[in-house]
Amino acid sequence: MNIFVLTGAGVSAESGLGTFRDAGGLWSMYDLREVATPEGFARDPARVHAFYNMRRRVHRDARPNAAHHALARLERELPGRGGRLTLVTQNVDRLHEMGGSCDVIHMHGEALKVRCLSCAHVEAWADDLSAEDACAACGRRGGLRPDVVWFGEIPMHLERIHDELGRADLFVAIGTSGTVYPAAGFVAHARRAGVPTLEINLEPSEAAPVFDQGLYGPATETVPAWVESVLAR
Ligand code: OAD
């Protein structure tokens, strides 16, 4: 069985990373037009750097939880049962990798990487970033930005994601509110292709009626239990 898993902020919530739209979420504290759009960055790069410096510090100290570990186990053990896992995440943290996942498709990029606006060079970046920092490849100062996808930009790896979605036998969305496209449209795509769909979330999301099945509770409990049941089949 080929399983396609899409994760969102809810999978990292119990690792101490805030979600975006729950009560007290990031988008209730920050104006996303100011800190998560190319226009906001052009207007005030220092404000955007300060936001991502804060997020980078939180991400650097976070540790994977039981849900990340369970998905890594699924990746390792499905091939022995004739299957395969495709793991697509909207999260910009590294917790899936730290939990042991080898092939993680980061459709919204990664906060612990920066990209040069001049030469497109991408490099790992764990420290604070400022408008004075220089690109290691071309030497230009002031052209580095977080290697994340902002509102109004096209998500990464969409071609591979659609190929993998076309090969899936089961679609599972974990810890995502299903409000940001194109990721929010994957479930409808799967349903049109006759692929069974499962939502795993703290509580039914607004998109819950579109799914065939739901499994509700904290990800650190529901995801390991679901992985166990898949591998026991
Ligand atoms: P949201 O904040 O929109 O949704 C988080 C979801 O996680 C909600 O449906 C919660 O019910 C669920 N949740 C919270 N705690 C949980 C837990 N312990 N266990 C299981 N589920 C839990 O986050 P996303 O859907 O990931 O994009 O947001 C999608 C995109 O919007 C993000 O990638 C980001 C954001 O703006 C960009 O920045 C481009």
At 51-64, the pLDDT tens digits run: 999 999 999 899 99
Q: What is the mean pLDDT of residues 211-224?
A: 98
CATH code of 45's domain: 3.30.1600.10
Please indicate, yes or no, whether residues 73 and 50 belong to a single structural domain of this protein: no
* pLDDT for 44: 96
Would the pLDDT of 23 be above 90?
no
Q: What is the pLDDT of residue 73?
A: 98
Q: Is residue 68 annotated as a catalytic residue, yes or no?
A: no
* Mean pLDDT, the chain, integer: 96
Pocket-testing residue among 11, 177, 203, 220, ligand 1, by greatest number of atoms within 8 A of Cβ: 177
User: What is the b/e burial string over 199-216, where b = at least 16 CB atoms within 10 angstroms of the residue's CB?
Assistant: bbbbeebebeebbeebbe
The closest residue, in CA terms, to atom 36 on ligand 1 is 20
The structural domain count of the chain equals: 2
197 shares a domain with 162: yes
Based on the domain organization, do 23 and 80 belong to the same domain?
A: no
Q: What is the pTM of this model?
A: 0.97
Measured in Å, residue 89 CA sits from the centre of ligand 1 at 11
For residues 162-179, give the mean pLDDT.
97
pLDDT digits (tens, 9 = 90+) for 80-103: 999 999 999 999 999 999 999 999
Among the candidates 86, 121, 148, a domain finishes at: 148
98 and 116 assigned to the same domain: no
Domain housing 53? 19-61+110-148
Same domain, 99 and 191: yes
Residues 27 and 140 in one domain: yes
> Does the beta carbon of 14 lie inside 6 Å of ligand 1?
yes
Ligand 1 centroid distance, CA of 216 (Å): 14
Considering the domain architecture, whether residues 53 and 85 belong to the same structural domain is answered as no
Give mean pLDDT, residues 160-187: 97
The sign of the torsion formed by the CA atoms of 228, 84, 196, 164 equals positive
Q: Is the CB of 214 under 6 A from ligand 1?
A: no
Catalytic residue among 108, 121, 162, 189: 108
**Whether residues 5 and 92 fall in one domain:** yes
User: Considering only CA atoms, which of 117, 153, 140 is closest in space to residue 38?
Assistant: 153
Question: pLDDT for 117-142, tens place per residue?
Answer: 999 999 999 999 999 999 999 999 98
